[in-house]
Amino acid sequence: MSLHQIDLRIQYEHKLTNRFTPETFCIAELYHSFLKNYNTNKVKKCNIIVSDNWGEDLGEYTNWSDSKSIKIALDFKNYFSQDKHDKKKIILDKIHKGMIEIAKKEGWQINPLLDAYNSCIEANLVYQFDVGKPKLSPNKKHKIGFWCNWDIDVFEVYRVLYDKKGTEISREKFISKKPNNGEFVYYLKWKWLDNSKVLVEDKYKYGDNEKWTLKIEA
């Protein structure tokens, strides 16, 4: 079974929760994107829990059947003094450290984690991706696709219009949310209503069931 989610989270009821939490999602998702086929047996989720005051709880390991958690240290004063790129590097390092420690305890392969880390570095810690595959309009003149930019301070989805050969004509942002509210993007569904309108729906079971009707002008 492959891993469904990697969650970097702050210690429960920490005073910096609201400030720190939204910034953790994009790098956790980027790292996980390189581990889609990583075999974790029955484990679906890994939690790396960070704090600057664990005391004797530092390194504590929680071993549930379908999820694993480990507590590691993070210096928040140093973290919040960094620019955006260096913040993302700190987040990546903490995720990777936690995953390595969990993998060692569970007997999982280490090399895929090293590859995922290196792939994040090669991507310059930027998480941008096409959402699904473009769909052809009823008159077969255009295709519509979607593109996501997920960062520590922004989450955006753009509609991208192509000609029938796949050459981009235009792109326009139509979704902007906080970066901790982006998981629904993996569950977007869309269809052409006619040659000038596209219906986009959020089908994520934990989402807001939002719908967008996009007017397409070539």
Q: Which residues contact 58 (CB under 8 A, 6 or more apart)?
A: 71, 72, 73
What is the C-alpha separation between 20 and 13, in angstroms, rounded?
Answer: 12
What is the C-alpha separation between 134 and 149, in angstroms, rounded?
Answer: 17
State the fold for domain 5-122: Collagenase (Catalytic Domain) (3.40.390)
* Residue indicated by tokens 């593109």: 147
What is the Rg, in whole angstroms, of the alpha carbon atoms belonging to the chain? Answer: 20
Instruction: Give pLDDT tens digits for 24-78.
Output: 999 999 999 999 999 999 999 999 999 999 999 999 999 999 999 999 999 999 9
**Res 75: pLDDT:** 98
Phi and psi of 188, rounded to 5°?
-70, 140
Phi and psi of 86, rounded to 5°?
-70, -30
217 has pLDDT over 90: no
1 has pLDDT over 70: no
Six-digit token pair at 170?
Answer: 């235009």
* Residue indicated by tokens 């060692």: 104
Instruction: Give pLDDT tens digits for 68-123.
Output: 999 999 999 999 999 999 999 999 999 999 999 999 999 999 999 999 999 999 99
Q: How many CB atoms sit inside 10 A of residue 164's CB?
A: 12
Instruction: Give pLDDT tens digits for 13-27.
Output: 999 999 999 999 999
Map out the domains of the chain as residue ranges.
5-122, 127-215
User: Which of 173, 170, 217 has the alpha carbon at shortest distance from 198?
Assistant: 217
Positive or negative: CA dihedral 61, 62, 63, 66:
negative
The model's confidence at residue 207, banded by pLDDT at 50, 70 and 90, is confident
Instruction: Give pLDDT tens digits for 135-194.
Output: 999 999 999 999 999 999 999 999 999 999 999 999 999 999 999 999 999 999 999 999
**Res 2: pLDDT:** 81
DSSP state of 51: E
SS (H, E, C) 94-108: HHHHHHHHHHHHHCC
